Amino acid sequence: MDLGIAGRTALVCASSKGLGLACATALAREGVAVTMTARGGELLEAAARAIGEQTGATIRTVVGDITTVEGRALALAACPQPDILVTNAGGPKPGDFREWSREDWIAAIDANMLTPIALIKATVDGMMARGFGRIVNITSGAVKAPIDILGLSNGARSGLTGFVAGLARTTVARNVTINNLLPGPFETERLLTTAAASARASGKSVDQILAERRAANPAGRFGHPDEFGAACAWLCSAHAGFVTGQNLLMDGGAYPGTF
């Protein structure tokens, strides 16, 4: 299917690896000019070069922390009027809520709630004025089914989800949609970090935790980042203008609810 977005511009945050990288790659394959960001420049440049060579798309890079005012200003200076915005940042640390300080909570809310909102605020009115916009927030399956050791993520991302639910209904008449993509377990570095924390807490090995998690998933495996990128590209497509305010869970069927 031609997604109808060739020639569009996208800002894909936190995209030197993992799910952000997969989204940037999938959009570039559709002929979108992509601006990628990350804090580490070396990996980001290598990723951008690889995508550019693979797809022939124009790729820009911005080194900076997207959770800071300065980092966002740099990203928006490089891509001031994106047609497509994919918000993403590292997930908060796992642990026990008894150990988290007010600063830990503020950092999580900053990264996983206020940063996406600030980026949306900076771009959504331009999208509405131009009559096209696609915003996808990478959140987490934890929004639907909380994960015990990820309380900071459960809390902060639920705040973003509630905010987006309201805003998404006010932009769609101008062909600007806002949706959330909720990853379950995808094979990325982040997954290994959370598995290592579970291993420490349970006394099991990381391999054992990973094997148990694979076996416990109805799909019998983890998701592949390419699958995530493809879903993101579709949500950003010309065909998805009637889809807004949705939370698309990609978890191999792990969430057991009917709705």
Binding residues for ligand NAP, rule: CB under 6 A, are 14-20, 37-40, 43, 65-67, 71, 88-91, 138, 140-141, 183, 185-186, 188-191
* Of 141 and 171, CB closest to ligand NAP: 141
* Of 161 and 188, CB closest to ligand NAP: 188
H-helix segments, the chain: 18-29, 41-55, 69-78, 102-109, 115-130, 151-171, 189-202, 206-216, 225-235
* Of 19 and 113, CB closest to ligand NAP: 19
Minimum CB separation of residue 119 from ligand NAP in Å reads 11
Minimum CB separation of residue 151 from ligand NAP in Å reads 13
Minimum CB separation of residue 184 from ligand NAP in Å reads 6
- Residue whose pair of structure tokens reads 């809390």 in the numeric block: 155
Q: Any residues with CB less than 8 A from the CB of 35 and at least 6 apart, and which?
A: 9, 10, 11, 12, 59, 60, 61, 62, 75, 78, 79, 82
* Of 193 and 208, CB closest to ligand NAP: 193
- Residue whose pair of structure tokens reads 């493809």 in the numeric block: 230
Work out the number of other CB atoms within 10 angstroms of the CB of residue 2. 10
The 8-class DSSP code of residue 253 comes to T
CB 194, CB 94: distance < 8 Å: yes
Nearest Cα residue to 197 out of 249, 137, 152, 227: 152
Minimum CB separation of residue 54 from ligand NAP in Å reads 17
Minimum CB separation of residue 58 from ligand NAP in Å reads 20
* Of 146 and 241, CB closest to ligand NAP: 146
Minimum CB separation of residue 170 from ligand NAP in Å reads 26
Minimum CB separation of residue 101 from ligand NAP in Å reads 19
* Of 6 and 192, CB closest to ligand NAP: 192
Work out the number of other CB atoms within 10 angstroms of the CB of residue 212. 14
Element holding 137 (H helix, E strand):
strand 133-138
Residue 100, classified by CB atoms within 10 Å of its CB into exposed (0-12), middle (13-18) or buried (19+), is: middle
* Of 8 and 17, CB closest to ligand NAP: 17
